[in-house]
Amino acid sequence: MYVFEFKRYCGECGYMTRWATESEAVAALYAHYGERHPYVRLSPYGPPGMLTWRRRYRMPLQAWIAAFLVFAGLIIAVAIGAANQPSDQNTPAPCATCGDNNGGGYSPTPPNYDSGFGGASGFNAPPP
């Protein structure tokens, strides 16, 4: 977005306003004339003197907010990704009873169905 800025120069002395909007520059020059040159009659069309202007590109506030949110999101994503990386210090010790190295998670070895399910028929099948 382009923004126009104005600078006004006093017609009586070397005073100049800062770069500002047109209305702010005119108000500053009127205030200057009221303090330093009270004897000068001011026109309703603006104070005497010179006017310069420039066009500048200003990024809107929404663009700054969006850039900040993207940057913060990237930092959070990197932090979460680094926290979820496996490390040697977090590896659980193997189970002393069953030899499970998964820390109590899923074990690929099948369960032993031959313990206590036989009955009189001797058929060793999993329970229904």
User: Could you tell me if residue 26 is inside a domain?
Assistant: yes
User: What's the number of domains the chain is made of?
Assistant: 1
CB of 51 closer than 8 Å to CB of 19: no
Give the SS3 label for residue 65. helix
Residue 66 in any domain: the answer is yes
**Could you tell me if 33 and 11 are in contact, meaning their C-beta atoms sit under 8 angstroms apart?**
no
Range of the domain at 11: 1-85
pLDDT at 105: 55
CA 110 to chain centre: 50
Q: What is the residue-level pLDDT of the chain in tens, covering all 128 positions?
A: 677 899 999 989 989 999 999 899 989 999 999 999 998 888 877 788 888 988 887 777 888 899 999 999 999 988 888 777 766 565 666 666 665 555 555 555 666 655 555 555 555 555 66
Tokens of 52: 């310069």
50 touches 42 (CB < 8 A)? no
